[in-house]
Amino acid sequence: MDLPLGFKVSGIHCGIKKSKKDLGMIYSEKKANAAAVFTTNKVKAAPVLLSMEHITDNEIQAVIVNSGNANACTGEKGYSDAMNMAKKTASVLGLNKEDVFVASTGVIGVPLPLNNILRGIEDLQNKVNHEDENDLLNLAQSIMTTDTFPKIYSKDLYIDGKKITLTGVAKGSGMIHPNMATMLSFIMTDANISKTALSKALKSSVDKTFNMISVDGDTSTNDTVLILANKEANNKEIIEDTVGFEFFQSALDEVTLYLAQMIAKDGEGATKLVEIRVINAKTEKDAKLISKTIAKSNLVKTAIFGEDANWGRILVAAGYSGANFDPKKVDVWFQSASGKIQTCCNGSFKEFSEEKAKLILKEKTIRIIVDLKDGDEKADSWGCDLSYEYVKINGGYRT
């Protein structure tokens, strides 16, 4: 996958973790327009608080990010450490510290091994100036925690005859719940797009993708999605409410959707990716409420893990979602590569083949369809099953 023009990235092991990569850098040769969305948790990590300040002018030129330690609930020292990460990055790259975005992910409540990170920043500066074909993979690996695979996606499009590239990396596996997740995502593009249009596009994409995934119902202290646009494609500036903006929005949606689905698929201990599609709702709000509530239901998740077509749990989750609908109209279907089966009709039991349902639920990607038969609105969300392995992973996360 290609990087957009004018971007350099890398990732290394600096000693936060025992052996795996744990420090990454993104550098734009020119200052980029920037937009970000942060965690809704009232308990925000130090790097989130710092980066919220640094992005107030919607301009960023570099990102420094570590994994293995969230630098959350670490008091004044945590904020000072985040600031020192920004200062060191600015120093080695010749930037103002306010143009550096800082992010962290990992264990909460443990001070950063700052000296390791500061030495690592010097090593990263050398890496980004000596490009390697594995740089993007190294970056994606450096932000992983309990992830089982790196998450990268790239999309090219043409506007005004100019090639524009969007490339995103993400991490996320546990503590994932709308809105957003214990996740980080960094999206780079060489598009020339106004600050207001970039912010609008990111918020719209996040609402449709990252805000529609759930693994375990917990919202993290460090959630961050950042997009940088450095104008190197030399296209005519993209502004809101234009055809160019629509093309850009569509491409960005494709990038964030892929990354969001990969986060849901990689849920801690997960064996299946589950899509919950709610159709024919009275309002989009109702559709989203029901879809997200079903996605985070532990009873639904365990039924999917057990390959049990327990449609009653789906109806129950819809019922406590807070959405407005008529339970007596609801139909429920299960679908996968092995077929499709209806298990509920008008809110009541419908005879179906348990053998066929079992076959459908044996697949690695499952779709649950909930037809409210009450309007024209719809919503999709994504989650995963809940396995024995999830408890094992989180029972010993700090050790």
List, in order, residues 6 or more apart from 377 with CB less than 8 Å away. 280, 281, 282, 283, 284, 286, 287
Q: Give how far Cα 378 sits from Cα of 277, 285, 295, 328, 370, Å.
A: 7, 9, 15, 18, 10
**Helices marked H in the chain — which ranges?**
46-54, 75-93, 114-128, 135-142, 195-208, 243-265, 284-296, 298-305, 311-319, 354-361, 388-395
Vertex 222: Cα angle to 221 and 227 (nearest 5):
145
SS3 17: coil
If you search the block for the tokens 């695979």, which residue do you land on?
A: 149
If you search the block for the tokens 């596009």, which residue do you land on?
A: 201
* Active-site annotation holds for 221: no
Closest CA to 104 of 136, 76, 50, 68: 68
Annotated catalytic residue within 182, 221, 224, 293:
182
Q: Give how far Cα 97 sits from Cα of 14, 92, 124, Å.
A: 21, 11, 17
Vertex 208: Cα angle to 203 and 213 (nearest 5):
115
Burial of 81 (0-12, 13-18, 19+ CB in 10 A): buried
Burial of 351 (0-12, 13-18, 19+ CB in 10 A): exposed
Distance (Å, whole) CA 386 – CA 266: 12
Q: Which residues of 362-381 are buried (b: 16+ CB within 10 A; e: fewer)?
A: ebeebbbbbbbebeebbbbb
Burial of 300 (0-12, 13-18, 19+ CB in 10 A): buried
**Helices marked H in 282-348 — which ranges?**
284-296, 298-305, 311-319
SS3 186: strand
Q: Which residues are part of the catalytic machinery?
A: 182
